[in-house]
Structure 1
């Protein structure tokens, strides 16, 4: 039999989705699964976006422009102007197929095969997948539960920089930790990339969801200061609960980056015309929508954090944003526990599904006892999920 490429063999399997076949098997047995493994919000998509599909009549459904439709790009421009970033426009923005493609673009444009990219660990698991696809080496800078997963000192970061380092990538608010970085931390990175001539890539898809008194600090605040080295990654998926529409974008004041992103976009022809029409309706979504979402996620955060702290042996820090929490469990191998939850455990025909923490680390042993929990269910369901988790850990630890 012919062998597949070596690249296929080394491509990481998503720890967020890896166990889905097991959850499907459990459901076929009549077991209800509370999905805390994936960042799939349960809140309704704005009705104006749904209605735009009903009222839209275009035939034939043609290709969209590679860099995004005028309708979609104009809507994005309006969004950033409302945030106060008047320099963002349709000329320095590329529409992408979700934030995932914007991540791919940013890596592809800044790093060659063999180059190094600094990330703060634990990090979004898809960073590892994208880097592997492009032959880029991720260099993890460790953060810890005890420090709230905030950045370490500049000295700790600089030690990891080599002549092969080309860029620094971070998400803010952070997926998977929920950390919201301070102005001082972002300024630290700005000074670092200026000093060492690196690119700085900021993934800000959870921008609206912060639960701290200080404001979110966007890379856009510094983009005019270092226009040639900064890239923003963004997405509508979580902001408007449009995960299925696959809508994102990349922003940079570096013309070479924008031209390169457009060349990349041309290679896949176009994003979805229907998706972009839906996304363009963001200008009609009331600002109260995301404000209400922010309040709801903060309430869920409080419930989840307080509930986890009451379960013996669990170690957590309170998330400051997004809708995730990294928890260290009183088990030797969190993935085995996650599998057991789906194959050998149920409480009144119910169980929970978690994302094993190893997938958010370069060295899987570093996250071996951790899980990422997405608090994307209604509060009553989260309460029940916490109850099930407590019962499951008690039974599992006794068995182990």
Structure 2
């Protein structure tokens, strides 16, 4: 029997994943990851990780599998929380869930599992793994989950071949309603439990509250840029090269306060992200205001009215070589090569047609249609069919 260590989170997905592995004949061990106990950062009086670890333990008891808790809070703080604060300070918007998978679940946690003699590590993600042979070598594929509504391949977009080789995704072939049904039939305590929201398993955290404890509030102005502003009408159509054109399409507009009018105040530009509508607390506009850019060094938030505001849209983005990652290393592009793909710039976004262009300094992703709120620090992931081939941090 092959041994599998599964990350039991106290949710319904990982509970059913453990059961499916048992049915497939694996020896299953459940581990709960404790990722947070820094009392200096009071997150909330509730203690969700305790409830979750209890639920995970009850599920393990019910299924008759060994169970223990591992404390990864030190590594989590170092690799996820500190990184997040660092990114927000720079005015970027990180994605802790993607990092959490790359750095914690499929790295720190995986190493612990392998030390316990595991052949594989499993999680309750809605995605699938494929294996193909190429030149006599096994190549692992990261495939979308069957449930299009819940597909979580995007969150695993930074995994490597080594990590995929040792991973299993037992519920990738199931839909969420099927998973709930199995949990009910087994009478698992997690059957009706709501899906967790909030930071990747720190629990019930509202991000602004969390950030305020590290990034001190600092008053600044909110500026509204009208859509008629000249900067949106100066459209360049002639370029010396394809790369020039891509650099132009993905450029960051350099907004100035005098391009618009001051409409309000805020408590820190680093709490806001492009495309955000809530939390601005500015009334009296015909259409709601959306954040079109933030300038953290000058502590200014630039906004525009309505979700069709031209400041929200761009046709291309850039990923530097340092932040470019291929799940399928064998398909990585060389300088000068292009690839037609489908891409998304956030979880649950519908896949959009795009072309990848490899250049000396990195990779451009050029979309067929303009994309709203392309946000620095977030991940872009690209697919062919239902296979995720690679990803990168939007720069």
TM-score class normalised by the smaller sequence: under 0.3
| TM-score, L = length of structure 2 | 0.28
**Higher share in strand:** 2
Q: Which has the higher contact order (CA 8 A, sep 6+)?
A: 1
| TM-score, L = length of structure 1 | 0.28
**Higher share in helix:** 1
